[in-house]
Amino acid sequence: MKHARAWCLLPCLLLWAGQAGAVRVESTDDPEPGDPGAGDYLLGAMLSTSGNHVGEASQGFSLRPLWSLQWRNWRITTTRASALWRLGRDGIDPGVSTVLLDQDRFRLSASLQLDDGRQSGDDPYLAGLPDVRRTLRGRVTARYTLSPSWSAALALGSDLRNRDGSATLTPSVKYRRATSSGTLWELSLAASLGNRDHLQTFYGISSTAAAAAGRAPYQPGAGLYGWQLGLDVSHPVSARWVVFGGVGLSSLVGDARRSPLVSRGTTWGASVGLAYRCC
């Protein structure tokens, strides 16, 4: 109950930001290209491939739309789209997001995102286990610019519908380098930590589920469960068009890696796409 009450604060922060606007302190940095204003949008498409940790080992391919819309102090964006604004300095999470505080080097943002969960019936490896239900997840991210090239962030996330009671903590560091031609290179490293409920939901097997599926129970503990390394590049081919791509490596550690649901401890992914920024 205390957990649910604490996370009721996130929607309140979002509502406050939408009504009052973000608190901003003017920066002395020069204006950057691609800085979105009210009513600006981004449209594009991305071809990507990625592997699964949980379930049968596979490498899937997908072609999906990419878009972002700025409305007053609100941003609605898909994964990867926000990084194509302001040479990657926006640091806005996917979903519905807003900036709560924006100072010279410090930015505090909040976001809401639908989580589709996991359908165990779609994967023979997970047959007989309960589905991970669809829910609404909230995230508060604090980001600090250490230098023109380096930044660090700490994101705190939770299941706002309290369907699994999970909470996560994601520290990360990013290095960015922009060339004279406008090409932006970004190298990022992040760690993933979760509470007991989070790891149990995604990597555990409860006693009840184990008995129903004829499998051994598994109860992972809280803590560090993975890390992610990514390299992304984007290049403006004109004032409005930008091409981008990236590769990433993800690895599980600890109790998550030892889970009987995990078929592959380390996976990789890659993406390439084209987007139009207006206006």
> What 3-state class would DSSP assign to 104?
coil
Number of domains in the chain: 1
Low-confidence ranges of the chain (pLDDT < 50): 1-9, 13-33
Place of tokens 């991970």: 132
pLDDT of residue 135: 92
The CATH number linked to 233 is 2.40.128
Tokens describing residue 177: 């380098």
Give how far the C-alpha of residue 2 lies from the chain's centroid of Cα atoms, to the nearest Å: 25
Q: 268 vs 118, 230, 231, CA distance in Å?
A: 20, 10, 12
What is the domain extent for residue 101? 2-278
Residues 214-265 have pLDDT tens digits of: 899 999 999 999 999 999 999 999 988 999 999 999 999 999 999 999 999 9
Angle made by CA atoms 235, 237, 240, in degrees to the nearest 5? 100
Per the CB < 8 A criterion, the answer to whether 188 and 230 are in contact is yes
Name beta bridge partners: 69.
Answer: 41, 76
pLDDT of residue 124: 86
C-alpha torsion angle, residues 254, 256, 262, 263 (rounded to 10): -20
pLDDT of residue 16: 46
d(CA 80, CA 94): 8
Place of tokens 């989070």: 198
